[in-house]
Structure 1
Amino acid sequence: MDAIDALSELFTPAGILIGFYVAVATYAFCRDCREWWQRRQVERLKHIEQHSSTVEVD
Protein backbone atom coordinates (compact mmCIF):
# COMPACT_ATOMS: atom_id res chain seq x y z
CA MET A 1 0.00 0.00 0.00
CA ASP A 2 2.99 2.32 0.41
CA ALA A 3 3.50 2.56 -3.36
CA ILE A 4 -0.17 3.40 -3.90
CA ASP A 5 0.02 6.05 -1.18
CA ALA A 6 3.14 7.54 -2.79
CA LEU A 7 1.43 7.66 -6.19
CA SER A 8 -1.65 9.30 -4.72
CA GLU A 9 0.63 12.03 -3.30
CA LEU A 10 1.88 12.80 -6.83
CA PHE A 11 -1.62 13.48 -8.11
CA THR A 12 -2.45 16.23 -5.66
CA PRO A 13 -2.72 19.73 -7.16
CA ALA A 14 0.72 20.61 -5.76
CA GLY A 15 2.26 17.45 -7.22
CA ILE A 16 0.74 18.11 -10.63
CA LEU A 17 1.98 21.72 -10.55
CA ILE A 18 5.51 20.64 -9.59
CA GLY A 19 5.48 18.03 -12.36
CA PHE A 20 4.38 20.65 -14.87
CA TYR A 21 7.18 23.02 -13.85
CA VAL A 22 9.76 20.21 -14.06
CA ALA A 23 8.51 19.29 -17.54
CA VAL A 24 8.68 22.90 -18.78
CA ALA A 25 12.15 23.42 -17.30
CA THR A 26 13.40 20.18 -18.86
CA TYR A 27 11.98 21.14 -22.26
CA ALA A 28 13.58 24.61 -22.12
CA PHE A 29 16.93 23.15 -21.03
CA CYS A 30 16.91 20.56 -23.83
CA ARG A 31 15.95 23.20 -26.41
CA ASP A 32 18.85 25.42 -25.28
CA CYS A 33 21.22 22.45 -25.44
CA ARG A 34 20.05 21.58 -28.97
CA GLU A 35 20.55 25.17 -30.14
CA TRP A 36 24.01 25.27 -28.57
CA TRP A 37 24.95 21.95 -30.17
CA GLN A 38 23.76 23.12 -33.61
CA ARG A 39 25.76 26.38 -33.32
CA ARG A 40 28.80 24.38 -32.26
CA GLN A 41 28.47 22.04 -35.26
CA VAL A 42 28.12 24.97 -37.69
CA GLU A 43 31.21 26.65 -36.23
CA ARG A 44 33.13 23.38 -36.43
CA LEU A 45 32.17 22.88 -40.08
CA LYS A 46 33.17 26.46 -40.93
CA HIS A 47 36.51 25.88 -39.21
CA ILE A 48 37.09 22.65 -41.14
CA GLU A 49 36.13 24.29 -44.47
CA GLN A 50 38.41 27.23 -43.76
CA HIS A 51 41.40 24.99 -43.10
CA SER A 52 40.64 22.53 -45.89
CA SER A 53 40.52 25.33 -48.45
CA THR A 54 44.00 26.55 -47.42
CA VAL A 55 45.60 23.09 -47.60
CA GLU A 56 46.68 22.08 -51.09
CA VAL A 57 46.95 18.43 -51.99
CA ASP A 58 49.40 17.45 -54.75
Structure 2
Amino acid sequence: MCIVRLVIMLPVSLSTGDAIRGRFDLMFVQSLILMSDCYIAPDIRKIIPRLHLPAS
Protein backbone atom coordinates (compact mmCIF):
# COMPACT_ATOMS: atom_id res chain seq x y z
CA MET A 1 0.00 0.00 0.00
CA CYS A 2 2.87 2.37 0.70
CA ILE A 3 4.24 1.74 -2.79
CA VAL A 4 0.89 2.64 -4.33
CA ARG A 5 0.78 5.84 -2.32
CA LEU A 6 4.29 6.79 -3.36
CA VAL A 7 3.64 5.99 -7.02
CA ILE A 8 0.33 7.89 -7.21
CA MET A 9 0.31 10.55 -4.51
CA LEU A 10 3.91 11.73 -4.61
CA PRO A 11 4.10 12.70 -8.31
CA VAL A 12 0.68 14.36 -8.22
CA SER A 13 1.39 16.36 -5.09
CA LEU A 14 4.84 17.36 -6.34
CA SER A 15 3.57 18.48 -9.74
CA THR A 16 0.45 20.29 -8.52
CA GLY A 17 1.50 21.24 -5.01
CA ASP A 18 -1.86 20.02 -3.74
CA ALA A 19 -1.97 16.93 -1.51
CA ILE A 20 -5.77 16.70 -1.74
CA ARG A 21 -5.56 16.14 -5.50
CA GLY A 22 -3.21 13.20 -4.91
CA ARG A 23 -5.63 11.66 -2.44
CA PHE A 24 -8.49 11.88 -4.93
CA ASP A 25 -6.35 10.24 -7.60
CA LEU A 26 -5.39 7.51 -5.13
CA MET A 27 -9.04 6.84 -4.29
CA PHE A 28 -9.91 6.70 -7.99
CA VAL A 29 -7.20 4.15 -8.74
CA GLN A 30 -8.16 2.05 -5.71
CA SER A 31 -11.81 2.03 -6.78
CA LEU A 32 -10.80 0.85 -10.27
CA ILE A 33 -8.76 -1.96 -8.73
CA LEU A 34 -11.64 -3.02 -6.47
CA MET A 35 -14.15 -2.98 -9.33
CA SER A 36 -11.86 -5.06 -11.52
CA ASP A 37 -11.43 -7.55 -8.66
CA CYS A 38 -15.19 -8.07 -8.54
CA TYR A 39 -15.10 -9.34 -12.10
CA ILE A 40 -11.86 -11.31 -11.84
CA ALA A 41 -12.47 -13.11 -8.51
CA PRO A 42 -15.09 -15.63 -9.77
CA ASP A 43 -12.75 -16.73 -12.57
CA ILE A 44 -9.86 -17.13 -10.15
CA ARG A 45 -12.03 -19.25 -7.85
CA LYS A 46 -12.89 -21.55 -10.77
CA ILE A 47 -9.26 -21.97 -11.76
CA ILE A 48 -7.65 -22.42 -8.32
CA PRO A 49 -8.86 -25.39 -6.27
CA ARG A 50 -10.76 -24.48 -3.13
CA LEU A 51 -8.16 -26.06 -0.84
CA HIS A 52 -5.50 -23.55 -1.95
CA LEU A 53 -7.61 -20.46 -1.22
CA PRO A 54 -7.37 -19.07 2.31
CA ALA A 55 -10.57 -18.74 4.37
CA SER A 56 -12.90 -20.29 1.84
TM-score grouping bracket, smaller chain normalisation: 0.3 to 0.5
**RCO (CA 8 Å, sep 6+): is it higher in 1 or 2?**
2
TM-score by length of 2: 0.45
The structure in which a higher percent of residues are helix is 1
TM-score by length of 1: 0.44
Larger Cα-atom Rg: 1
